[in-house]
Amino acid sequence: MGRLSFIGTGNLSWHLSQALFQAGHTVVEFCGRQPEKTQVYAARVDAQPIDHPSLMDSNLDFIFICVSDSAIAEVSSQLNPSKAILVHCSGSTPLNHLNGEKTGVFYPLQSFRTETVVRWRELNILLEGNTLETTEALFNLASCLGASTQATTETDRQRIHLAGVLASNFVNLLWQKAQELCMQSGMDPELLHPLMEETLNKAVQMGCTEAQTGPALRRDNQTLLLHETMLNMQPPWDEVYRILSQEIAKRHPLHSQS
């Protein structure tokens, strides 16, 4: 089992450190800018809390840099690892933002919150190393979590990260707007929950193309015009509605099912 440390006290480091600790790895140190929060994170995995990357133990196998994307390069430059593999967990940050002889990416394709349970065996983890040896070490580390793992190039990882933003962040924003429309009519947004669940289930089971429904697919121009009119006073949602409806029509030129 490996010796590893974490930099950053965000949602991912909260879950990943605990998962690796429970799998039998030794978490040596936790580094963070907020002493009280760092102590909480460290105590969960029997680690030593420290307040600056330059103070980290150099006799480690992995150092996970779990900070914001814009801070990865700066934090990495403050380290002086002798043998540790420096790892960031960003979907979009290039590998060369890490400053070290052995560097890698350990990108779980999931969003994390401290209060939720992570089912690691249901996750996909994308891996990238600067050498074949480093990539193999990342695979060995990820295997103890039971997640599905896949080696990716930097370009593919960034493209998948973009896909994740569309599939998660943007869809969630549309759900948020839908809930607002319910509340504007004095209706409980929970009315939408069965539809939301059914939409996701069909997209997963049937594929997004076959699961598509709605007035744009049916070429129901009267309903489309009504909806756009209702959104005229809530820009930019009228334009968002129009663009998405046009895109559905383009993708289903001969589709006649609702």
Tell me: pLDDT of 180 over 50. Answer: yes
The model carries a pTM of 0.91
pLDDT at position 254: 65
Give the span between the Cα atoms of 98 and 111, in whole angstroms: 23
- Interval 138-148: pLDDT, tens: 999 999 999 99
Q: Which CATH class is domain 3-152?
A: alpha beta
Asked whether the beta carbons of 50 and 30 are under 8 A apart, the reply is yes
Give the span between the Cα atoms of 20 and 97, in whole angstroms.
24
Residue labelled with tokens 């043998």: 83
pLDDT in tens, 43-91: 999 999 999 999 998 889 999 999 999 999 999 999 986 789 999 999 9
Domain 158-251 top-level CATH class = mainly alpha
Q: Is the pLDDT reported for residue 125 higher than 80?
A: yes
Residue 255: the pLDDT is 46
pLDDT > 70: what percent of the chain? 98
Vertex 224 angle, CA 222 and 225, to 5°: 65
The predicted structure's pLDDT at residue 1 = 83
pLDDT of residue 82: 72
**Count of Cβ atoms closer than 10 Å to residue 24 Cβ:** 9
Average pLDDT, the chain: 95
Instruction: Give the percent of the chain with pLDDT over 90.
Output: 94
Q: Please name which of 39, 16, 42, 12 lies closest in space to residue 28, comparing C-alpha atoms.
A: 42
Residues 179-189 have a mean pLDDT of 96
Question: Which whole number is the average pLDDT over 203-224?
Answer: 96
Per-residue pLDDT at 122: 94
Handedness of CA 211, 214, 220, 225 (dihedral sign): negative
- Segment 81-120, tens digit of pLDDT: 678 999 999 999 999 999 989 999 999 999 999 999 999 9
Residue ranges of the domains in the chain? 3-152, 158-251
